[in-house]
């Protein structure tokens, strides 16, 4: 259990949750489900600078994905040499680091794949002039989470969709794990943010205990601004379409159509994580 106020002061800076609230007693799962910035910072304080940096680096943040896709940015990640005291709060809530959508998806694919990071690739196989199909080389892999930790993470991320900020990402007939995101957009060349400008996102995978497909939805300056409100429903529609398109069996005990908020039609295909 963590004691979570709605704001804290660190090294002269004030950090706060999205909405004011009385001091609460929350578990790590509840902190994740409610997207509490302050609760997240308390978890990060227990992790510590070195372990935190090692973990995000192992997930590929701040490095090219290896896809060699034109225009790809490796993103930004503070190093130990650049570390400031406030980074222990700013980094885990995403305010001194920058990632592209594929990097976020790669991290959640690692959770879906039992704690194993699998390098992404755009092409599964090529077809020659003789119609011979040649598979591309297997992706490089490395472990980023212990298996037991990963199992806990899956369960925690499922709670985000079941009872947290991601309830609009539910897919009828399937269990879903994922996370909402609402990020301020920085001013170019300045240490400030554009007033009222946000990126809203949802990333997740399904079915939870035997993941087959994952997807990320990122919306630039939507109205409303929150990922759980605008990106999660899009994820629900895309994932519902893809799971049915590929004939993925439904999950026994998962909510049915009448018990969910999710949609069931879309025209996009989710990312294959196998």
**How sure is the predictor about 271, in pLDDT bands with cuts at 50, 70 and 90?**
very low
> What does the pLDDT look like over 191-241, one tens digit per residue?
889 999 999 999 999 999 999 999 999 999 999 999 999 999 999 999 999
Q: What is the pLDDT of residue 258?
A: 53
SS3 121: coil
User: Nearest-CA neighbor of 231 among 97, 77, 104, 75?
Assistant: 104
What's the CA dihedral at 85, 88, 94, 96 to 10 degrees? 20
**How sure is the predictor about 95, in pLDDT bands with cuts at 50, 70 and 90?**
confident
Which residues, in sequence order, are CB contacts of 124 under 8 Å at separation 6+?
135, 136, 272
User: Nearest-CA neighbor of 161 among 26, 238, 262?
Assistant: 262
Say if pTM beats, i.e. exceeds, 0.95.
no
Walk me through the domains of the chain, giving residue ranges and CATH numbers.
1-98 (3.40.710.10), 146-274 (3.40.710.10)
For the chain, helix, strand, coil in percent to 5 are 30, 25, 45
User: In this structure, are strands 213-220 and 193-206 parallel, antiparallel, or unpaired?
Assistant: antiparallel
**How sure is the predictor about 268, in pLDDT bands with cuts at 50, 70 and 90?**
very low
Residue tagged 């598979």 (tokens): 135
- Give the percent of the chain with pLDDT over 90: 85
> What does the pLDDT look like over 38-83, one tens digit per residue?
999 999 999 999 999 999 999 999 999 999 889 999 999 988 999 9
Tell me what the pLDDT averaged over the chain comes to: 91
In whole angstroms, give the CA distance from residue 225 to residue 137: 40
In whole angstroms, give the CA distance from residue 36 to residue 44: 12
């Amino acid at each position: 259990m963590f004691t979570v106020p709605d704001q804290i002061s660190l090294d002269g800076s004030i950090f706060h949750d999205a909405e004011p609230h009385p001091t609460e007693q929350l578990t790590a799962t509840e902190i994740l489900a409610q997207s509490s910035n302050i609760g997240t910072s308390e978890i990060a304080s227990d992790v510590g600078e070195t372990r935190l940096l090692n973990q995000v680096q192992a997930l590929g943040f701040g490095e090219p994905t290896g896809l060699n896709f034109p225009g790809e940015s490796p993103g930004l990640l503070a190093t130990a040499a650049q570390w400031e005291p406030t980074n222990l709060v700013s980094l885990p809530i995403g305010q001194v680091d920058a990632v592209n959508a594929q990097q976020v998806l790669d991290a959640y694919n690692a959770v879906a794949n039992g704690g194993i990071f699998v390098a992404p690739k755009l092409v599964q196989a090529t077809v020659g002039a003789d119609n011979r199909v040649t598979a591309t080389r297997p992706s490089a892999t490395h472990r980023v989470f212990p298996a037991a930790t990963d199992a806990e993470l899956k369960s925690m991320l499922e709670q985000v969709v079941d009872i947290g900020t991601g309830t609009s990402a539910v897919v009828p007939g399937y269990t879903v794990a994922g996370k909402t995101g609402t990020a301020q957009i920085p001013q170019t060349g300045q240490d400030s943010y554009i007033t009222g400008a946000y990126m809203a996102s949802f990333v997740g995978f399904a079915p939870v205990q035997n993941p087959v497909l994952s997807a990320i939805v990122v919306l630039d300056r939507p109205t409303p601004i929150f990922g759980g409100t605008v990106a999660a429903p899009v994820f629900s529609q895309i994932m519902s379409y893809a799971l049915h398109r590929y004939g993925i069996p439904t999950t026994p005990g998962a909510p049915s159509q009448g018990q969910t908020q999710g949609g069931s039609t879309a025209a996009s295909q989710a990312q294959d994580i196998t």
